[in-house]
Structure 1
Amino acid sequence: MQKKALFGILFVSVLILGVAASGCISGEKTSTGTTGQSDSTATGKVVELEFWHGIEAPENQKVLEELVRKFEAEHPNIKIKLVNYGAQDKAVPKIMAAAQAGTPPDLVWLNPAQTGFFAEAGVLAPVEDFIKNDPSFNKEDIYEGLWELGTYKGKIYTAPFDTNNLAIYYNKELFREAGLDPEAYMGKALSWDEFRELAKKLTKDKDGDGEIDQYGFMVPFGRLEWTVWTWEVFLWSAGGELLSEDQSKPTFASDAGVKALQYWVDLVYKDKVAKLSEPNAGYKLDDFFAGRVAMTINGPWNYPVLKEQGWLDKTGVMLMPYDKRIATNIGGENLFIFKTTPEREQAAWEFAKFVMSPEFQVTWALKTGYLPVCKSALEDPEYKKFLEENPFIKIYVENLQYGKARPPVPQYPDMSAAIGEAIEAALLQKKDPATALKEAQAKVEPLFKS
Structure 2
Amino acid sequence: MKRIAPILALLLVGAAACSSGGRTESSGPVEITIWHGQADIAAKSIEGLVAKFNSTHPNIKVRTDSGGATADAMLPKVTAALAAGTYPDIAYLYGSWAPNVAHSPKAADLSKVVRDPKIGWNDFWPNTRQVATVGHKVIGFPANVDDLAVLYNKKLLAKAGLRPPGPDWTWDDFRTMAHRLTDAATQTYGTTWAVSGGEETTWTYWPLVWQNGGQILSPDMKRTAFDSPAGVQGLTLLQQMAVQDKSVYIDSSPAEKGQKLFESGRLGLFLAGPWVLPDVQAAKIDYGIAPLPGTNGDHQTISGPDDWAVLDHGSRRVKAATEFLTWLTAPEQQLVWMNDTGALPTRQSIAKLPGYQAYLRKYPGVDVVTANLANARQVRPASTRYPRVSAYVAGAITSVLLGRSDPKTALDDAARKSDALLRVPGA
What TM-score comes out, normalization by structure 1 length?
A: 0.83
Which of 354, 361, 366 matches 2:334? 361
CA deviations 1:105-138 (Å, max 9, x no partner) are 1100111110001112333102213224x34322
Name the aligned partner's letter for residue 72 of structure 2: D
Q: State the shift of 1:95 in Å.
A: 1.1
Could you say which residue in structure 2 is the equivalent of 1:62? Answer: 44
Where 2:112 maps in the other structure, the secondary structure is helix
Say yes or no: does 1:94 pair with 2:68: no
Say yes or no: does 1:176 pair with 2:148: no
Where 2:294 maps in the other structure, the secondary structure is coil
% same residue: 31
- After superposing on structure 2, the runs of 4+ consecutive aligned residues of structure 1 that deviate more than 4 Å are 280-284
Which of 47, 57, 60 matches 2:30? 47
User: How many angstroms apart in 2 are the aligned matches of 1:282 and 1:260?
Assistant: 23
Could you say which residue in structure 1 is the equivalent of 2:174? Answer: 195
User: How many angstroms apart in 2 are the aligned matches of 1:140 and 1:315?
Assistant: 35
Which residues of 2 match residues 273-284 of structure 1 at below 5 A?
A: 273-282=247-256, 284=258
User: How many angstroms apart in 2 are the aligned matches of 1:258 and 1:154?
Assistant: 36
Q: Which runs of 5+ in 2 are unaligned?
A: 1-22
Name the aligned partner's letter for residue 352 of structure 1: L
User: How many angstroms apart in 2 are the aligned matches of 1:389 and 1:414?
Assistant: 38
When residues 169 and 60 of structure 1 are mapped into structure 2, their CA distance, relative to the original with a 3 A threshold, is: same
Say yes or no: does 1:411 pair with 2:399: no
When residues 399 and 125 of structure 1 are mapped into structure 2, their CA distance, relative to the original with a 3 A threshold, is: same
Which of 279, 286, 290 matches 1:318? 290
Which of 342, 351, 358 matches 2:315? 342
Where 1:306 maps in the other structure, the secondary structure is helix
Could you say which residue in structure 1 is the equivalent of 2:190? Answer: 216
User: How many angstroms apart in 1 are the aligned matches of 2:267 and 2:283?
Assistant: 18
Name the aligned partner's letter for residue 396 of structure 1: V
Alpha carbons 1:161, 1:355 under 8 Å: kept: no
Could you say which residue in structure 1 is the equivalent of 2:92? Answer: 109
Q: State the shift of 1:358 in Å.
A: 0.6
User: How many angstroms apart in 2 are the aligned matches of 1:154 and 1:237?
Assistant: 31
Q: State the shift of 1:284 in Å.
A: 4.2
User: How many angstroms apart in 2 are the aligned matches of 1:180 and 1:135?
Assistant: 51
Which of 365, 368, 371 matches 1:392? 365
CA deviations 1:407-442 (Å, max 9, x no partner) are 222111111111111111222222211111112112
Could you say which residue in structure 2 is the equivalent of 1:286? Answer: 260
Q: Alignment length, in residue pairs? A: 398
CA deviations 1:29-81 (Å, max 9, x no partner) are xxxxxxxxxxx9x976211111002112x222111111112222232111111
Name the aligned partner's letter for residue 415 of structure 1: V
Name the aligned partner's letter for residue 77 of structure 2: K
Where 2:28 maps in the other structure, the secondary structure is coil
Say yes or no: does 1:374 pair with 2:347: yes
User: How many angstroms apart in 2 are the aligned matches of 1:437 and 1:154?
Assistant: 34
CA deviations 1:182-241 (Å, max 9, x no partner) are 4xx3x634211111111222122447xxxxx32212122232111111111222222211
User: How many angstroms apart in 2 are the aligned matches of 1:392 and 1:135?
Assistant: 33
What TM-score comes out, normalization by structure 2 length?
A: 0.87
Question: RMSD across aligned C-alpha pairs, in angstroms?
Answer: 2.2
Name the aligned partner's letter for residue 238 of structure 2: W
When residues 69 and 405 of structure 1 are mapped into structure 2, their CA distance, relative to the original with a 3 A threshold, is: same
Relative contact order (C-alpha < 8 Å, sep 6+): which is higher? 1
Where 1:88 maps in the other structure, the secondary structure is coil
Q: State the shift of 1:155 in Å.
A: 2.9
User: How many angstroms apart in 2 are the aligned matches of 1:135 and 1:172?
Assistant: 46
Could you say which residue in structure 1 is the equivalent of 2:227? Answer: 253
User: How many angstroms apart in 2 are the aligned matches of 1:282 and 1:308?
Assistant: 17
User: How many angstroms apart in 1 are the aligned matches of 2:282 and 2:248?
Assistant: 27
User: How many angstroms apart in 2 are the aligned matches of 1:154 and 1:366?
Assistant: 34
User: How many angstroms apart in 1 are the aligned matches of 2:254 and 2:228?
Assistant: 25
Q: State the shift of 1:356 in Å.
A: 2.0
When residues 331 and 437 of structure 1 are mapped into structure 2, their CA distance, relative to the original with a 3 A threshold, is: same
Name the aligned partner's letter for residue 140 of structure 1: N
User: How many angstroms apart in 1 are the aligned matches of 2:138 and 2:118?
Assistant: 18
Where 1:103 maps in the other structure, the secondary structure is coil
CA deviations 1:167-196 (Å, max 9, x no partner) are 1111111111112344xx3x6342111111
Which of 201, 204, 207 matches 1:227? 201
User: How many angstroms apart in 1 are the aligned matches of 2:120 and 2:339?
Assistant: 23
